[in-house]
Amino acid sequence: MKLLLVEDNRPLSEWLARTLRADKYTVECAHDGLEADGLLRTEAYDLVILDLALPGLDGREVLKRARSRRNPVPVLILTAFDATRDRIEGLDFGADDYMVKPFEVHELEARIRALLRRSNQQKNPILSCASLVYDSNSREFTLAGAPLALTPREHAVLELLMMKAGKTVAKRALAESLFSIDEAVNPEAIEIYVHRLRRKLEPGDAVIVTLRGLGYLLKPRHEA
């Protein structure tokens, strides 16, 4: 899952980015509103964490512009503005959630997980495909009851496929979720990660199916 963190306080931005990357998210950072608006015009994200008091372009305007382009990305406002009027305004502009600084990072992480589940139409934090189970709270996979060891990139690919289980996920969507804007994207890398995942899933009964020209599909083996 790829997140955009829009925060002009660089020490806070760097600390929060490290924390979220340790949680296995791909994180890109913007430090002013104009940069954030540009990224939201050209890049795809699974979630945006947005400060309101930004140089260049106010966070409210960033949000309004994104929604005017019909960008459905979930937006969590994280700001020092704690007046009721600010909360109402932010939500009315199209934010999906609102948190006030200072904040507890564990609460922020929980809200991120909830928003990602909601955006993928998943209310249950425990997702399953045959004997493959994913706990979206701990962000851990098990296969036939045993922990499934994955590299961060393998985890990112399987997480997106699990969130979209039963639906085709395009190779481009996997690449966008896996790589940040500063990384060179090699389409063949996705094929390598999928190949490795298939080998690790062999002891169970969930499989990754290739739909040529369309992408990949995670489904129970008996339906493949």
Which tokens hold the place of 13?
Answer: 């931005």
What angle in degrees, to the nearest 10, is found between the helix axes of 152-163 and 171-178?
130
**For strand 47-50 and strand 2-6, is the pairing parallel, antiparallel, or unpaired?**
parallel
pLDDT confidence of residue 126: 93
**Could you tell me if 82 and 9 lie in one domain?**
yes
Which pLDDT tens digit goes with each residue over 197-216? 999 999 999 999 999 888 99
* Last-in-domain residue among 59, 90, 119: 119
Domain extent for 135: 126-223
Q: How far is CA 102 from the centre of its chain?
A: 23
pTM above 0.75, yes or no: yes
**Could you tell me if 94 and 35 lie in one domain?**
yes
Asked if pLDDT for residue 166 goes beyond 70, the answer is yes
The CATH number of the domain holding residue 31 is 3.40.50.2300
The total domain count for the chain is: 2
pLDDT confidence of residue 213: 85
**Could you tell me if 29 and 104 lie in one domain?**
yes
Q: Which residues contact 73 (CB under 8 A, 6 or more apart)?
A: 40, 44, 45, 46, 47, 48, 66, 119
Asked if pLDDT for residue 221 goes beyond 70, the answer is yes
**Could you tell me if 161 and 216 lie in one domain?**
yes
Asked if pLDDT for residue 187 goes beyond 80, the answer is no
